[in-house]
A and B are shown apart, each in its own frame.
Chain A
Amino acid sequence: MSFLRRAAPYLLVLPSLVYALVFTGYPLAYVLGMAFSGRNPAILEVIFSPRLGEAALFTAVIVASVIPAQLALAIFASLFFLQNFRGRDLVLYIFVIPLAVSEVAAALLWYTMLSSSGFLNKALMRIGLISRPIYFFGYQFRDRTLLAIVLTEIWRATAIVFVIIYAGLQMINREYLEAADVFGMSFWQKLRYVILPLLKPSIQTALVIRTLFALQIVGPIFVLGGEYIRVLATEVVYWYSMRLNPAVASAWAVLVGAVTLALGGLYIKLLSPKGVMQ
């Protein structure tokens, strides 16, 4: 009985561990095999393909513009919701709604807002600020399409960063903040010298998780970017579903995995691993 008692946690964990290993370990081995095998390995085909540079560039641009914006917005929003005001709970609920909204749906929402006959253009023309619609989509407007994608991601995924940061902020002892007020610190001083250092673990967690997930964004890229904007993750879907080529799709998947691993490792090296564990 006492043996059973000691073994119990392991027995309870085992099924899920096996499941997770089967669904990650096996695919990993498979994509590596597919990407690197054969006389003309698919990974070489991908590395020397003209699509790689563009996909890598767009991936980098999206990740590098979405993440800092989300982090800053989430920190300010957390401080904002620390105040008490009437209707605070309702606004908080509204702010986190996008947590439950899918990538594809969010992209369609922002298409509705930004398309040439969308809300923004119609409203601006109505009040006479512009006379012709501003185009966000199409090959010649790829910079603006990128902006639309970034906007969609900020709308959709800032809530996740916010929830992590806000939870961290609530664990900070209020007395620190009151002490800072007593010493007459300005808002920015308080932010720089009190709040940010205490929030470091939450910021680290949010950074790691958001960056790695940002590499996997597919819906908004397809919906808003059409054929003109491709990132590493969309290439996997494109080569499997459209070009019916599992080998090349696997090679792109290897690249997604490698970048994920490299960035994850980099974060863990740069930031203390303790923070990531929380």
Chain B
Amino acid sequence: MIKRWLTYIGALAIAVWILLPIAYTTLASFAEIRDYYARVIPRSYTLRYYEEYFRLGVLDALVRSVQVGLITVALSFIFGLPAGYAIGRWAFKGRDTLRMAVIFFRVFPVAVMAVPLAVTYISLGLYDTLLGIALAHTAIALPFVILITSSIFISIPKDLEEAGHVFGMSGLHVFLRITLPLAAPGLAAAAMFTFLISWNEVVAATILSYVNRTLPAMVLSPYVIGTGGELPDPYKFAAATIMILPALLFMAYVRRYLITMWGAAGVR
């Protein structure tokens, strides 16, 4: 009986620890700032700070973040999905070395990657473009996509594919009509997480852009520039709330796959 109660107290503590900062910041982002300073739970609320902050360019940054995220998902799936399928499906010579190499790429510091890319981008005309940032984000997300998709393909029974072959379907046909539909929910989860990797990434986005900043890079820029540029409190709350929203939505969908997908891959 006591143990039961302790379990529920533990569960409650975990929920409060995670949710309180999110809930309170969201609440604060809608609060009249004077009221926020005066009370623990503010009483008067407004959308004013969101409107102001959007007008200051945050709405554009948000749109850019979505665009960069979508390009990143497309590119990293075009490059990563075939590799994930090969590693998940076939035993071939060098597969383990390859998996090791993928893990190595996974821990390659973004800071090392970003500065040379910036210099190269300037000469290629890619600096401060959405494609430029998305190319870097693809490099960051690619190992993740390969590891995750390979573990998704492993979990699909080979018998079904073989049945397709028995009925005379071509290799591509089998992939498109049998493997892909079975993998689709998992792949959707992987795509959402790839989007989130890009949506959350800030180092490459900061170094590779100047005017066309993505949302996190724009939020961070006053801090990077340092003195005198600190973000006013209401904007901080609004920024955090906007950035976390897609995370909450996606996690609700992805949660079924989390443990199986990530246990193997160990993602950021």
Listed in ascending order, the chain A residues whose CB lies under 8 Å from chain B are: 6, 8-10, 12-13, 15-17, 19-20, 23-24, 26-28, 30-31, 34, 77, 80, 83, 85, 87-88, 91-105, 108-113, 115, 117, 119, 122-123, 126, 155, 160, 163-164, 166-168, 170, 202, 205-206, 208-209, 212-213, 215-216, 218-219, 222-223, 226-227, 233, 236-238, 240-242, 246, 249-250, 252-254, 256-257, 260, 264, 276-278
Q: Are B248's CB and A97's CB within 8 A?
A: yes
Given contacts A94-B14, A164-B263, 19 further A-B contacts (CB under 8 A): A17-B83, A23-B136, A80-B7, A97-B22, A103-B202, A105-B247, A108-B219, A109-B25, A122-B40, A163-B259, A164-B266, A167-B262, A170-B263, A206-B266, A222-B224, A237-B203, A240-B207, A241-B224, A253-B112
Q: Is the CB of A99 within 8 A of B142?
A: no
Choice from B105, B237, B243 contacting A20 with Cβ under 8 Å = B105
Assess whether B268 is interfacial by the CB under 8 Å rule.
yes
Which one of A26, A110, A233, A237 has the highest number of Cβ atoms from chain B below 10 Å of its Cβ? A237
Say whether B19 faces chain A, with CB atoms less than 8 Å apart.
Answer: yes
Kindly specify which of B56-64, B114-122, B177-185 makes contact with the partner chain. B114-122
CB contacts (< 8 Å) of A31 on chain B: these are: 112, 115-116
Q: What is the size category of the interface that chain B forms with chain A?
A: 35 or more
In the assembled complex, 26 residue pairs joining A and B whose CB atoms fall closer than 8 Å, in A order, are A8-B90, A9-B87, A15-B83, A16-B82, A16-B142, A26-B120, A80-B10, A97-B251, A108-B236, A113-B21, A113-B24, A119-B20, A209-B106, A215-B109, A216-B109, A216-B203, A218-B111, A218-B202, A222-B220, A223-B220, A237-B203, A241-B206, A246-B118, A253-B114, A254-B112, A277-B100
Distance from B264 Cβ to chain A, minimum over Cβ atoms (Å): 7
Q: Point out the residues of chain B lying under 8 angstroms from A91, CB to CB.
A: 11, 14-15
Q: Which of B101, B136, B223 has the most CB of A within 10 A?
A: B223
What CA separation (Å) do A80 and B22 show in the bound complex? 23
Main DSSP-derived SS at the B contact region: helix
Q: Is the CB of B202 within 8 A of A219?
A: yes
Question: Which chain A residues lie closer than 8 Å to B45 at the CB level?
Answer: none
Tell me the bound Cα distance from A87 to B95 in angstroms: 41
A167 to chain B, nearest CB (A): 2
Q: Is the interface of A mostly helix, strand, loop or mixed?
A: helix
B207 touches A227 (CB 8 A): no
How far is B220's CA from A203's CA once the two chains are assembled, in angstroms?
33
Residue of A nearest to B218 (CB): A104
**In the bound complex, do residue A237 and residue B111 qualify as a contact, i.e. CB atoms below 8 Å apart?**
yes
Given the known interface contacts A24-B113, A222-B223, A223-B223, the answer about A155 and B136 at a Cβ–Cβ threshold of 8 Å is: no
**Does B134 count as interface, using CB distance less than 8 angstroms?**
no
Known A12-B86, A103-B202; judge A250-B115 contact (CB<8 A): yes
- How many angstroms from the CA of A215 to the CA of B110 in the assembled complex? 11
Partner of B224, one of A28, A109, A238: A238
Q: Which residues of B contact A209 (CB under 8 A)?
A: 106-107, 266, 268
CB-nearest residue of chain A relative to B78?
A15
In whole Å, how far is A33's beta carbon from the nearest beta carbon of chain B?
9
Across the interface, which residues of A come within 8 angstroms of B90, CB to CB?
A: 8-9
Cβ contacts under 8 Å, A23 to chain B: 113, 117, 135-136, 139
What string of 1s and 0s marks CB contacts (under 8 Å) between B15-56 and chain A? Answer: 101111110110010000000110110000000000000000
- Of the candidates A111, A123, A219, A227, the one whose C-beta lies within 8 Å of that of B236 is A111
- What are the interface flags for B214-248 relative to A under an 8 Å C-beta threshold, 1 for contact and 0 otherwise? 00100111011111001001001101100110111
